[in-house]
Amino acid sequence: MLYRIMFLMPVKVPVGETDDPYFIALLNSLASGLAKNERADGIWIIQIDNWFDHKWLRFSGIGSVHFRFPAFMNRNDAALDEFFQDRVTFPPFAPNRVVAQWSFARVGDKYVEVPSRVPHGSEKQRSKANLQRRVHDFSRSACFVWYSGNTVANGRGSIMVYNVAADRVQCWFAAFKRQHLDWKLHATNGVSREDVEGLLNTAT
């Protein structure tokens, strides 16, 4: 696939109106650490409008679960339930929650921002449809990074990473809280604190 190179740059996203600049600096450090460690073919960074928690990790959506009543009742029924599938899908954020999406491609030892298809479309879909939007079908070598907006007002931020390599998808979540001007790692899910802090240090 050919890419039209826009301009050479590190893996970096800008500060928006509702973003705490210190949190964005932390996000960019983490993304650069991922780029150096994983060397994926592509990196996508997606901003979500507000805080999201660890329950989104590996969450696929809502689908129908069919069940059978005892035989003497002679009936079947279905109910809605949350799905967390073995084959990881994109988190089903509503389109109006997706503020921005950036894509970067690896060219040699550098990453460049490129025009590319994005993980989240602009049209709302039934939750059932997302159960088939598997990450592996999008790319076999990629890092997807979601981060929360509105960090100035909230004083807390969340970052979720899906790292795709060959037949493996590593999924993890990290929560941060602001203390004065500093942002501190508050909690992790699917990854150790040491690994997250190591990524932040890798970029420096």
Reported as a single tens digit per residue, the pLDDT across 61-95 is: 654 444 454 555 555 544 344 444 557 889 999 99
Which one, of 140, 136, 135, 46, lies nearest residue 93 by Cα?
A: 46
> For 31-43, what is the mean pLDDT?
93
The answer to whether residue 41 is domain-embedded is yes
Give the Å distances, CA to CA, from 98 to 31, 102, 123, 146, 147.
18, 11, 11, 10, 10
The answer to whether residue 13 is domain-embedded is no
Band of pLDDT at residue 166, cut at 50, 70 and 90: confident
The answer to whether residue 12 is domain-embedded is no
The answer to whether residue 7 is domain-embedded is no
Predicted confidence at residue 60, as pLDDT, reads 79
Which residue segment(s) compose the domain that 32 sits in?
21-202
The answer to whether residue 170 is domain-embedded is yes
What's the total number of domains in the chain?
A: 1
Task: Yes or no: say if 40 and 142 are a contact pair by the CB < 8 Å rule.
Answer: yes
3 state SS for 110-154: EEEECCCCCCCCCCCCCHHHHCCCEHHHHCCEEEEEEEECCHHHH
Candidate from 23-27, 78-82, 150-154, 188-192 with smallest mean pLDDT: 78-82
> For 173-201, what is the mean pLDDT?
95
Token pair of 8 as six digits: 């050479």
Q: Decide: pTM greater than 0.85.
A: no
The answer to whether residue 63 is domain-embedded is yes
The answer to whether residue 79 is domain-embedded is yes
Round the average pLDDT of the chain to a whole number and report it. 83
The answer to whether residue 120 is domain-embedded is yes
